[in-house]
Amino acid sequence: MDYFVIRGGQPLQGRVPISGAKNAALPILAASLLTPSELRLNNVPHLNDITTMIELLGALGGEVAVDESGSLCISALDLNSRRAPYELVKTMRASILVMGPLLARFGRAEVSFPGGCAIGSRPVDLHLKGFEAMGAQIDVRDGYIVATTEGGLRGCDFTFEMVTVGGTENLLMAAVLADGETILRNVAREPEITDLVRFLRAMGADISGDDTDTLVIRGVGSLNSCEYTVMPDRIEAGTYLVAAAATGGCITVEGADAEHLGLVLDKLRDAGVDVQVDGDAITADMLGKRPLSVDVITAPYPGFPTDMQAQFTALNLVADGVARITETIFENRLIHAQEMSRMGANITVDGHSVIIRGQEEISGAPVMASDLRASASLVIAGLAAKGETRVDRIYHIDRGYERIEEKLQSVGADIVRKMR
């Protein structure tokens, strides 16, 4: 198993190119199952989760090829299976996203109960309730969710009990081929949902209400071929900007979209960071100073993203003051706190919050990554710490950060990947 060895304490300085967004590319890849026509996708990041989704498309009978420019050419013409197998689904929860497209196009989908990050129980009950509202029958057999329809999905008026990103995406993809109009209320408004809407529209879907909490979808008979470029990864961009702040450095992320990072940039400014936006470049300059503590409460978009919570926890370890970070989206997403205390951090868990008394210095230590964003936060803590940090189980980080050690090395970080 790979691990990182980090020698911290250097301010990071330089420019980092931002990759395509994992959380936009995954539903877009799943949506490719909706059409027999060929699709071409640009700016898909090279990540383990993306490889898993491509393998899943392959297991269903789809074909995915990479052309010389790095774009993905996808054909879901001859799908010969409706079953997303346990071996793939257990490594990535987002595999559930093939359910909507398979059900809409073929009237049948079988998906193993999803796994993924160890951040709470993360049920999919709302996805299933929505499919039922569209006329699907749901059964559970041998660890698989089996969804079927007689005569196809029907449009419906469905209100999500709570905001769910994956649930919104799954029902949206199902509704584009359903018979009649579907109204989805209390939907997630994450930029990745808007990216999916744009992709579906490019394929000929009829959708309105993007960027609001109600989506209206008028089903169409079939979808056509298109070429689409995936949006930049706002969480990757935010992670590098926080790394600049935590190390007292200055990083410019290139190819990013500041509009997607509203509260993240505001919180960096509250921490004393000079944040400048110039087109698709965002610069965070800590001006060689120590950051100030900032409180954070996670919330659905446009609130503060849960996927940036752990990184801001890392920033607060070395900040001046006391911070409270509250997680409201996922249970059990504060596991990194314990690892951070191994680095001499003054951090305590209080229910769904962590309280951090920032220290001038934290020290390197062996730590263990527990999920994707927690791994990123431990890398940031290691970069800010004096001495050597070893981050184990970095397979989590490879799920969601493209070439992270190369990108960090290019801004002066002393980080090496090693194999046990």
Using the minimum distance from each CB to ligand UD1, give the nearer residue, 3 or 330. Answer: 330
The least distance separating ligand UD1 from the CB of residue 124, rounded to whole angstroms, comes to 5
Using the minimum distance from each CB to ligand UD1, give the nearer residue, 105 or 399. Answer: 399
Integer Cα distance of 89 and 96 in angstroms: 8
Does residue 201 interact with ligand UD1 by CB under 6 A?
Answer: no
Using the minimum distance from each CB to ligand UD1, give the nearer residue, 12 or 30. Answer: 30
Integer Cα distance of 11 and 145 in angstroms: 49
Does residue 126 interact with ligand UD1 by CB under 6 A?
Answer: yes
Question: Under a CB-based contact definition with an 8 Å cutoff, are residues 24 and 420 in contact?
Answer: no
Distance between terminal CA atoms of the chain? 6
Residue type, 322: V
Question: Under a CB-based contact definition with an 8 Å cutoff, are residues 388 and 395 in contact?
Answer: no
Q: Which helix (H) or strand (E) holds 336?
A: helix 336-341
The least distance separating ligand UD1 from the CB of residue 242, rounded to whole angstroms, comes to 16
Does residue 330 interact with ligand UD1 by CB under 6 A?
Answer: yes
* C-alpha distance from residue 172 to each of 57, 75, 82, 306, 399 (Å): 19, 21, 19, 22, 25
User: Following CA atoms 80, 82, 87, 91 in sequence, which dihedral angle do they give, to the nearest 10 degrees?
Assistant: 120
Contact pattern for ligand UD1 over residues 82 through 121, marking x by CB under 6 A: -----------xx-------------------------x-
Helix 372-384 to helix 234-246 angle (10° resolution) is 20
Does residue 62 interact with ligand UD1 by CB under 6 A?
Answer: no
Using the minimum distance from each CB to ligand UD1, give the nearer residue, 41 or 273. Answer: 41
Of these, 32, 164, 247, 326, which contacts ligand UD1 (CB under 6 A)? 164
Residues 6+ apart with CB under 8 A from 125: none
Selection from 55, 61, 154 nearest residue 104 by Cα: 154
- Closest-approach residue to ligand UD1 (CB): 166
Does residue 124 interact with ligand UD1 by CB under 6 A?
Answer: yes
The least distance separating ligand UD1 from the CB of residue 175, rounded to whole angstroms, comes to 16
The least distance separating ligand UD1 from the CB of residue 127, rounded to whole angstroms, comes to 5
**Is 226 assigned a catalytic role?**
no
Catalytic residue chosen out of the listed positions 117, 156, 226, 250 = 117
Of these, 23, 35, 316, 326, which contacts ligand UD1 (CB under 6 A)? 23
Residues 6+ apart with CB under 8 A from 177: 34, 104, 105, 153, 219, 220, 221, 222, 223
Q: Among 1-9, 33-41, 125-133, 135-143, which window interacts with ligand UD1 (CB under 6 A)?
A: 125-133
Of these, 58, 70, 123, 180, which contacts ligand UD1 (CB under 6 A)? 123
Q: Among 69-77, 164-172, 241-249, 286-294, which window interacts with ligand UD1 (CB under 6 A)?
A: 164-172
Integer Cα distance of 188 and 381 in angstroms: 31
Q: What is the DSSP string of 81-137?
A: --EE-HHHHTT-GGGGGGHHHHHHHHSEEEEEPP--SSSS----HHHHHHHHHTT-E
Contact pattern for ligand UD1 over residues 241 through 280, marking x by CB under 6 A: ----------------------------------------
Of these, 122, 352, 390, 393, which contacts ligand UD1 (CB under 6 A)? 122
Does residue 127 interact with ligand UD1 by CB under 6 A?
Answer: yes
Helix 48-59 to helix 22-31 angle (10° resolution) is 10
Selection from 249, 289, 288, 285 nearest residue 268 by Cα: 285
Integer Cα distance of 251 and 411 in angstroms: 8
Please give the residues from 304 up to 323 whose contact with ligand UD1 meets the rule CB under 6 A.
306-307
Question: Under a CB-based contact definition with an 8 Å cutoff, are residues 38 and 62 in contact?
Answer: no
Of these, 12, 18, 26, 200, which contacts ligand UD1 (CB under 6 A)? 26
Does residue 364 interact with ligand UD1 by CB under 6 A?
Answer: no
Using the minimum distance from each CB to ligand UD1, give the nearer residue, 120 or 180. Answer: 120
Does residue 125 interact with ligand UD1 by CB under 6 A?
Answer: yes
Using the minimum distance from each CB to ligand UD1, give the nearer residue, 125 or 139. Answer: 125
Does residue 162 interact with ligand UD1 by CB under 6 A?
Answer: yes
The site for ligand UD1 (CB under 6 A) is made up of 23, 26, 93-94, 120, 122-127, 162, 164-167, 188, 192, 306-307, 329-330
Active-site positions read: 117
